[in-house]
A and B are shown apart, each in its own frame.
Chain A
Amino acid sequence: MIRFDQVSKRYEGGHEALSQLSFEVGAGEMAFVTGHSGAGKSTLLKLLGLIERPSHGVITLDGQNLAKVGRAGIPKLRRRLGMVFQDHRLLMDRTVFANVELPLMIGGMAPVERARRVRAALEKVGLLAYERQLPATLSAGEQQRVGIARAIVAKPMLLIADEPTGNLDPSLAVEIMDLFAEFQAIGTTVLIASHDLPLIKRMRKRVVVLDHGRLVADVAAQEVL
Chain B
Amino acid sequence: MNTQPEIPLNESPLLSEPHSRGGRHRLRPVASWREHHGWSAAASLRRLMSRPVGTLLTVAVMAIALALPLTFYLLLGNVQKMGEAMGQNQTISVFLQPGQSAASAHLMAKQLRERPEVSAVAVKTPEQGMDELAKMQGFSGALHTLDSNPLPYVLEVQPKADASADSVDRLVSDMHGLSGVDQVQDAGTWRQRLEALLGVGQRAVLILAALLALAVLLVVGNTVRVDIASRSEEIGVLMLVGASRAFVRRPYLYAGIWYGLFSGVLAAGFAVLVELALADPVARLGQVYAGKLHIDVLPLWLLGAVPVAAAVLGWLGARLVSAWQLRKAA
| Chain A contacts to B: CB under 8 angstroms | 49-51, 71-72, 74-81, 83, 89-91, 102-111, 113, 116-117, 120-121, 123-124, 126-127, 150, 152-157, 175, 178-179, 182, 185-188
The verdict on A178 contacting B1 (CB below 8 Å), with A78-B241, A120-B13 known, is yes
Residues A107 and B242 in contact, CB atoms below 8 Å apart: yes
Q: Which residues of A contact B238 (CB under 8 A)?
A: 102, 106
Q: Which residues of B contact A154 (CB under 8 A)?
A: 21-22
In the complex, what distance in Å separates the CA atom of A91 from the CA atom of B248? 14
In this assembly, does B88 line the interface, its C-beta being within 8 Å of a C-beta of chain A?
A: no
Residues A76 and B242 in contact, CB atoms below 8 Å apart: yes
Across the A-B interface, give the 6 residue pairs with the lowest CB-CB distance, nearest first: A126-B3, A108-B32, A79-B242, A120-B14, A78-B242, A113-B25
Residues A126 and B1 in contact, CB atoms below 8 Å apart: yes
Q: Which residues of A contact B178 (CB under 8 A)?
A: none
Q: Which residues of B contact A108 (CB under 8 A)?
A: 26-27, 29, 32-33, 35-36
B33: nearest chain-A partner, CB-CB: A108
In the complex, what distance in Å separates the CA atom of A102 from the CA atom of B36? 11
**The residue from A83, A113, A123, A124 contacting B240, defined by CB atoms under 8 A apart:** A83
Chain A: minimal CB distance from B59 (Å): 22
In the complex, what distance in Å separates the CA atom of A187 from the CA atom of B12? 14
In this assembly, does B179 line the interface, its C-beta being within 8 Å of a C-beta of chain A?
A: no
The verdict on A157 contacting B240 (CB below 8 Å), with A123-B7, A123-B12 known, is no
Q: List 24 A-B contacts (CB under 8 A).
A: A49-B240, A75-B239, A75-B242, A75-B245, A79-B242, A80-B19, A83-B240, A89-B237, A91-B237, A102-B238, A103-B241, A106-B238, A106-B247, A107-B22, A109-B32, A110-B25, A110-B31, A120-B14, A124-B15, A126-B4, A154-B22, A178-B1, A186-B18, A188-B18
In this assembly, does B169 line the interface, its C-beta being within 8 Å of a C-beta of chain A?
A: no
In this assembly, does B330 line the interface, its C-beta being within 8 Å of a C-beta of chain A?
A: yes
B22: nearest chain-A partner, CB-CB: A109
In the complex, what distance in Å separates the CA atom of A89 from the CA atom of B232? 12
The verdict on A152 contacting B14 (CB below 8 Å), with A78-B242, A89-B240 known, is yes
Residues B242 and A113 in contact, CB atoms below 8 Å apart: no
In this assembly, does B127 line the interface, its C-beta being within 8 Å of a C-beta of chain A?
A: no
In this assembly, does B138 line the interface, its C-beta being within 8 Å of a C-beta of chain A?
A: no
Residues A121 and B19 in contact, CB atoms below 8 Å apart: no
B12: nearest chain-A partner, CB-CB: A120
Q: Which residues of B contact A179 (CB under 8 A)?
A: 1
Q: Which residues of A contact B5 (CB under 8 A)?
A: 123-124, 126
| Extra 20 A-B pairs, beta carbons < 8 Å, given A107-B21, A113-B22, A113-B25 | A74-B330, A75-B243, A78-B240, A83-B240, A83-B241, A89-B236, A91-B234, A102-B241, A108-B26, A108-B33, A109-B32, A110-B31, A126-B2, A153-B14, A155-B18, A155-B20, A179-B1, A186-B10, A186-B15, A187-B19
In the complex, what distance in Å separates the CA atom of A71 from the CA atom of B244? 10
Chain B: minimal CB distance from A54 (Å): 15
Residues A103 and B237 in contact, CB atoms below 8 Å apart: no
Q: Which residues of A contact B233 (CB under 8 A)?
A: 89
Q: Which residues of A contact B31 (CB under 8 A)?
A: 110
In the complex, what distance in Å separates the CA atom of A78 from the CA atom of B242? 5
Quick one: which of B211-238 are within 8 Å of A by CB? Answer: 233-234, 236-238
The verdict on A106 contacting B13 (CB below 8 Å), with A89-B237, A111-B35, A156-B19 known, is no
The verdict on A109 contacting B12 (CB below 8 Å), with A75-B242, A80-B21, A155-B19 known, is no
Q: Which residues of B contact A107 (CB under 8 A)?
A: 21-22, 26, 242
In this assembly, does B146 line the interface, its C-beta being within 8 Å of a C-beta of chain A?
A: no
Residues B4 and A109 in contact, CB atoms below 8 Å apart: no
Q: Which residues of A contact B32 (CB under 8 A)?
A: 108-109
Chain B: minimal CB distance from A181 (Å): 11
In the complex, what distance in Å separates the CA atom of A87 from the CA atom of B277? 59
In the complex, what distance in Å separates the CA atom of A124 from the CA atom of B36? 27
In the complex, what distance in Å separates the CA atom of A89 from the CA atom of B15? 24
In this assembly, does B9 line the interface, its C-beta being within 8 Å of a C-beta of chain A?
A: yes
In the complex, what distance in Å separates the CA atom of A72 from the CA atom of B26? 21
The verdict on A175 contacting B330 (CB below 8 Å), with A83-B241, A109-B27, A182-B9 known, is no
Residues A51 and B240 in contact, CB atoms below 8 Å apart: yes
In this assembly, does B280 line the interface, its C-beta being within 8 Å of a C-beta of chain A?
A: no
In the complex, what distance in Å separates the CA atom of A104 from the CA atom of B242? 10
In the complex, what distance in Å separates the CA atom of A188 from the CA atom of B244? 24
Q: Which residues of A contact B15 (CB under 8 A)?
A: 120, 124, 186
Chain A: minimal CB distance from B313 (Å): 28
In this assembly, does B17 line the interface, its C-beta being within 8 Å of a C-beta of chain A?
A: yes
